[in-house]
Chains A and B, each alone.
Chain A
């Protein structure tokens, strides 16, 4: 799915009546099938941007266009259809605790199946092989019939990611996919996510706190700072100065990410050595 925004402005979800903008005059263009990582310190508007792109929140001003259409000008049924073609994975995995993993994963493909088929699937899950394959990509095959509350935080997050593989979406918006994962799993999960997006030709837009992972897995990095676009560069052109000025007053975030990412560094990409003080 192709994304275009011009002078986009939006408020943070929690601050309904505030005048503060979470994102200000943001203009970007993301082509179909592109993979982009959005980085920036806390409060820079990354999550709000994802929510606006997912049509989960109406922007205050500016324009948004998905595949050439403004979602907020569409009729309700057309908007619902458009939403079916995108997938938003929140930072906290949206899984009901007492649901089984198989049902939670299969919920990803609800936009593509009918009402009664969905209800039947609640009792006797259809497409068990599909669910198993999705979980296998994230190394969770043996958890297929377990309950969500019996999984660890990292496992739940991976189930949330596996849902994307079940959805018919051509735009994947993933918020902090690595926040609960332990370092050993980071590489495998990112690899699985990126490879699956490639196989489907889906546009992948991810927010990441782990700058090294962003540089290692994504060809294009967008930096946000206080709701404004700081830079929009191919990852090979992202310099240390750019990163340091992005995280200027939050250097602890930049340095903290460092330690966890020692396991990363795919072939051909230099892991930026960051010197803090």
Chain B
């Protein structure tokens, strides 16, 4: 076991060294005096952030759009995730189901592709704007939540469900009366955790044209309007902080 550990550590070290060697980092470009100076100048352009009422209103609208994307996207993901988790899980007590492996593949594929890539792909069907972003969040998060829900389903105690099945109750009602109530605290916890993540993801999806604060940010950055960019950044940080706090409160009450 110890030799295995040393082997792994050496392999990791080789990976790190190889990475540093092959990546052409422009250290000089970054550490040279003029680069630092230009960086300083660049950062200085951010201050002071734009505070005109019309622009603040734009930021608020963008923030609302981002928030809506994250909420709707996470809700859709929870529904789709649960729909997939049921065939994608297998209870120890029952016979092997054939649906588990293919559905797990689908869930893995959904979650492997990052939200941004999904958004780029979906722009073709859904067009520019927050709709593509919402769908992208929904699809990626459905993969993540689906896997987490499936794990919860597989580890859940089967007593309540078996008792209802013994009474001849159909599987739909067994799910709502026994299985779901048993895993509900975990489901809520995972969903809230993903919502916290999704608000950050939603904020940047706009960079590829999917609406929200991200679109505003990319737009003003491309025009080198640094004051406005700074305001949008502050809006992003504020939005993330609010959602984190809200999620904390909900977590206390629901789980």
Contacts and interface: CB of A to CB of B under 8 A. Distances in A.
User: Is B one of A's binding partners?
Assistant: yes
Interface of A: 54-56, 79-84, 86-90, 92, 94-99, 103, 107-108, 110-111, 115, 118-119, 122, 167, 169
A118 B177 contact: yes
Given A96-B160, A97-B182, A98-B185, A107 B170 contact: no
A58 B181 CA distance: 29
Question: Does more than half of chain B's interface fall in helix, strand or loop, or is it mixed?
Answer: helix
Contacts of A122: 176-177
Nearest to B183: A96
B112 interface: no
3 shortest interchain CB distances as A-B pairs = A83-B168, A94-B163, A96-B181
B173 A94 contact: no
Given A110-B169, A110-B177, A118-B173, 18 more contacts: A55-B166, A56-B166, A80-B168, A84-B169, A86-B166, A86-B167, A87-B167, A88-B167, A94-B161, A94-B162, A94-B178, A95-B160, A96-B160, A103-B177, A110-B173, A111-B169, A118-B177, A167-B167
Interface residues of B, number: 21
20 contacts: A83-B167, A83-B168, A84-B169, A86-B166, A88-B167, A94-B162, A94-B163, A94-B178, A95-B160, A96-B178, A96-B182, A98-B185, A107-B177, A110-B173, A111-B167, A111-B169, A115-B170, A118-B176, A119-B176, A169-B167
A94 B159 CA distance: 5
Interface in B138-190: 159-170, 172-173, 176-178, 181-182, 184-185
Contacts of B185: 98
A81 B165 CA distance: 12
Nearest to B93: A13
A110 B163 contact: no
A107 B164 contact: yes
Contacts of B169: 84, 110-111
B159 A90 contact: yes
A170 B163 CA distance: 16
Contacts of A96: 160, 178, 181-182
Nearest to A167: B167
B167 A84 contact: yes
Nearest to A107: B177
Contact of A90 (B163, B177, B181): B163
A103 B159 CA distance: 16
A81 B168 contact: yes
A118 B166 CA distance: 17
A89 B178 CA distance: 15
A94 B160 contact: yes
Contacts of B162: 56, 90, 94
> Which one of A94, A95, A118, A119 has the greatest number of beta carbons of chain B within 10 Å?
A94
> Which one of A54, A80, A110, A119 has the greatest number of beta carbons of chain B within 10 Å?
A110
Contacts of B172: 115
A83 B169 CA distance: 8
B168 A82 contact: yes
Contacts of B159: 90, 92, 94
A55 B159 CA distance: 16
A95 to B, nearest CB: 6
Nearest to B168: A83
> Which one of A55, A79, A95 has the greatest number of beta carbons of chain B within 10 Å?
A95
A111 B168 contact: yes
Interface in B184-242: 184-185
B182 to A, nearest CB: 4
A97 B183 CA distance: 10
Contacts of A79: 168
A82 B166 CA distance: 10
A81 B177 CA distance: 19
Contacts of A98: 181-182, 184-185
A132 to B, nearest CB: 19
